[in-house]
Structure 1
Amino acid sequence: MRVFLTGATGFIGSHVIPELLAGGHRVLGLTRSDAGARQLEAAGVEVHRGDLDRPETLASGAAAADAVIHCAFDHNFATFFENTRKDERNITAMGEALEGTGKPILITSGVGIGTPVNGGPATEDVLNPHHANPRIATELAGAALIARRIDVRTIRLPQVHDTTKAGLITPLVAEARRAGAVAYLEEGRTRWAAAHISDVAKLYVLALEKGEPGARYHASVEDGVSARAIAEAIGAGAGLPVRSIGREEVELYFGWMAPFAGLDMIASNAWTRARLGWMPSGPDLLTDLAAMDYSATAPA
């Protein structure tokens, strides 16, 4: 297939590219810059010029392909709510370009959206339309397309990691440096699901090749790693003290990430594994955090 890939030069997309090429697919990669175009060309990818602020440029890329994998998202958390609306517009535009064709579009969300109302691990069969996370806009956009018989498949991501990045944990390191210590709330029992980037990239391709219209897939390998274990790994690697804090200190130590400090973001992947035959094999989160080069995250 000729696959239109958004976010092709990003952390996730750049790892999806070799998996697609190894599977015999051709890739049409979205970029807005000359540097991005050079990166894609060097990777053996055809370039499609476009921008997340111009949905019509994503729609034209979708129309020119046999399938879409949408990894792009504006991660400026200062405008997070608006960025989720931007994602909604882009998903709608690409989906409409595929309407009536039977061609699939894979969209990207977070495992937290699958958390049951009464708590417990997120599961693939749960979609709470009233979820407090603004990223719910992504999945509601997908649901609206599904209602129009468009083949939408959703990949829900946990904390995706290697030894250079680790989801929300990467900005957490920066906040810890600012505060002078790595903190965890109270006893540090909250947990975050995680997966190595290599396993996540493989799942996108499996969902493309073997997935079902309307299905949601969890890219979580570890159901949940405790906040305390994460903090201790960061502290050891970055040479920072580690401490337990009360709720009144959360903003001091977590900054803009304060709303995430007490979230238990755990997820099951049993259904995804059974449906797609996904067999993750990458390193676990704590192994990567122990091997991470923290000097790269140090202030200049």
Structure 2
Amino acid sequence: MRLFVTGSTGFIGTELVKELIEVGHQVRGLTRSDAGVEQLKAVGAEVHRGDFQDLDCLRRGAEGMDAVVNLAFNHDDFSKFAQNAKDEIQAIEAMGSVLEPGKLLVITSGVGPSAPGQLRKETDPPADSPAMPRRPEQAAQAVAAKGVHAAIVRLPQVHDTRKQGLVTRLIQISREKGVSAYVGDGANRWAAAPLKDVAHLYRLAVEKTGPGTTTYHALQEEGVSLRDIAETIGKGLQVPVVSIPAEKAVEHFGIFFGHAAAQNMPGSSEWTRKTLGWEPTGPGLIEDLTNRKY
């Protein structure tokens, strides 16, 4: 297959592009930097130089492809989260507009919060919260309505010993504050999965997704408690571990992370595993947090 991959030199994209090429797929990767150009060339990918906000560039990249995999999102500036979410929707719409019926669009979403005692499942609707303005699933469904096959990959905290999703930011906050904190009793849980296993799931989604819209959960662990995460960070940084009352969460973590740190975001991947034959084998989140360099 010929694939156009955005975020091709990012955390997940780097692993995915290598795996796709190793099994014989042809990859065109979007990059805006000289380093990205060299990285893509080194693994045998075609370079598409441009910016994620340049919609004409995205259309040219996606044109004539068998599949598009959208991994790009600006996680660097949470003060512009609403604008970043808008950019993502416009990018999905632009790339989807040039895909022919029967071709495939793969987009990235998040597991999202669940009610107490429940696990988010693949059949659950997209998370819908004013605090989380991202709407990639709705954008993909609109593209699918035109006959394009669509795969939605919901991500948990994707980790190795370098990065751990939102947990990486919690580590930064803990270093700045001098304490590693959780909210309340810390019993709320976040689902997690190892980087290489997540990249492999994207490849399986590319190869096995059929007509309509299909949602997958890239989860190895249903949920890891925020207290366990905070205690592991505390040991790594050698700082005290403390409980923060819910009303003080925003003051301690900031607006976005004050909300996220109190969220319960566990999920199930039972259907995904059976459908794709996906069996993650990598380390758990706590193991990678324990082995990272602080």
Secondary structure of 1:163's partner?
coil
Match of 2:95, as an amino acid? M
Which runs of structure 2 are paired with 1:17-96 in the superposition (5 Å)?
17-75=17-75, 76-96=77-97
Give a deviation string over 1:209-251, Cα, whole Å, max 9, x none.
1123300000011000000000011111111111112123213
Which runs of structure 2 are paired with 1:117-156 in the superposition (5 Å)?
120-128=118-126, 130-156=128-154
Secondary structure of 2:223's partner?
strand
Q: Give the whole-Å Cα distance in 2 for the aligned partners of 1:156 and 1:57.
A: 26
Match of 2:220 in 1: 221
Give a deviation string over 1:139-166, Cα, whole Å, max 9, x none.
1101111222221111110000000000
* Contact 1:181 1:253 (8 Å CA) reproduced: no
In the TM superposition, what is the alpha-carbon distance from 1:134 to its structure 2 partner? 3.2
Which runs of structure 2 are paired with 1:251-266 in the superposition (5 Å)?
251-256=250-255, 257-266=257-266
Match of 1:272, as an amino acid? T
Q: Give the whole-Å Cα distance in 2 for the aligned partners of 1:59 and 1:119.
A: 43
| Distance change (3 Å), C-alpha of 1:96 and 1:36 | same
Match of 1:249 in 2: 248
Match of 1:175 in 2: 173
| Structure 2 segments unaligned to the other structure (5+ residues) | none
Q: Give the whole-Å Cα distance in 2 for the aligned partners of 1:150 and 1:119.
A: 36
Q: Give the whole-Å Cα distance in 2 for the aligned partners of 1:255 and 1:293.
A: 25
- Taking only the aligned residue pairs, the percentage that are identical comes to 46
| Distance change (3 Å), C-alpha of 1:56 and 1:45 | same
Give a deviation string over 1:82-116, Cα, whole Å, max 9, x none.
1111100000010111033x110100000117x47
* Contact 2:92 2:136 (8 Å CA) reproduced: yes
In the TM superposition, what is the alpha-carbon distance from 1:133 to its structure 2 partner? 4.9
* Contact 1:176 1:254 (8 Å CA) reproduced: no
In the TM superposition, what is the alpha-carbon distance from 1:132 to its structure 2 partner? 3.7
Segments of 4+ moved more than 3 angstroms: 128-136
Match of 2:107 in 1: 107
In the TM superposition, what is the alpha-carbon distance from 1:252 to its structure 2 partner? 3.5
Instruction: Please provide the CA RMSD for this pair.
Output: 1.6
Q: Give the whole-Å Cα distance in 2 for the aligned partners of 1:73 and 1:81.
A: 12
Which shifted more, 236-245 or 276-285? 236-245
TM-score (norm 1): 0.93
Q: Give the whole-Å Cα distance in 2 for the aligned partners of 1:222 and 1:259.
A: 22
* Contact 1:193 1:265 (8 Å CA) reproduced: yes
Match of 1:298 in 2: none
Match of 1:198, as an amino acid? K
TM-score (norm 2): 0.95
In the TM superposition, what is the alpha-carbon distance from 1:128 to its structure 2 partner? 4.2
* Contact 1:69 1:107 (8 Å CA) reproduced: yes
* Contact 2:120 2:268 (8 Å CA) reproduced: yes
* Contact 2:86 2:134 (8 Å CA) reproduced: no
Q: Give the whole-Å Cα distance in 1 for the aligned partners of 2:165 and 2:57.
A: 27
User: How many pairs align?
Assistant: 291
Match among 166, 170, 188 for residue 164 of structure 2: 166
Q: Give the whole-Å Cα distance in 2 for the aligned partners of 1:126 and 1:234.
A: 32
In the TM superposition, what is the alpha-carbon distance from 1:56 to its structure 2 partner? 1.5
Match of 1:12 in 2: 12
Match of 1:297 in 2: none
Q: Give the whole-Å Cα distance in 1 for the aligned partners of 2:67 and 2:284.
A: 31
| Distance change (3 Å), C-alpha of 1:43 and 1:210 | same
| Distance change (3 Å), C-alpha of 1:130 and 1:198 | closer
Match of 1:3 in 2: 3
* Contact 1:55 1:93 (8 Å CA) reproduced: yes
Q: Is 1:188 equivalent to 2:217 in the alignment? A: no
Match of 2:235 in 1: 236
Q: Give the whole-Å Cα distance in 2 for the aligned partners of 1:2 and 1:128.
A: 29
